[in-house]
């Protein structure tokens, strides 16, 4: 029982020491850059995405506007 406790502590210390020794290097930014990522986005593209996202989220047929549109359809038949 005592031996299991010592083995557990030794393994825990070994893993902690391994994670402390292995770390970020000086060339972390060079290695961790995405070559396909755009450096900057034009404001027109960002605005177009925001408008499309919010219009499809808030005024989607299946989101919250299906009930008023069907009610409007019933009113037009009267």
What's residue 78's pLDDT? 46
Compare 37 and 26 and report the one with higher pLDDT: 37
Rounded Cα distance, 14 and 9, in Å:
8
What's residue 18's pLDDT? 84
Per-residue pLDDT for 61 more than 70? no
The residue ranges of every structural domain in the chain are 42-78
CA-atom Rg of the chain in angstroms: 29
How many CA atoms lie less than 13 Å away from 11 in the CB half-sphere? Answer: 6
């Amino acid at each position: 029982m005592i031996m299991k406790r010592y083995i557990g502590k030794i393994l825990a210390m070994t893993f902690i020491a391994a994670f402390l020794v292995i770390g970020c290097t000086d060339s972390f930014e060079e290695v961790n850059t995405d070559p396909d990522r755009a450096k900057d986005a034009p404001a027109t593209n960002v605005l177009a995405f925001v408008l499309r996202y919010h219009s499809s989220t808030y005024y989607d047929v299946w989101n919250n506007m299906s009930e008023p549109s069907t009610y409007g359809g019933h009113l037009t038949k009267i």
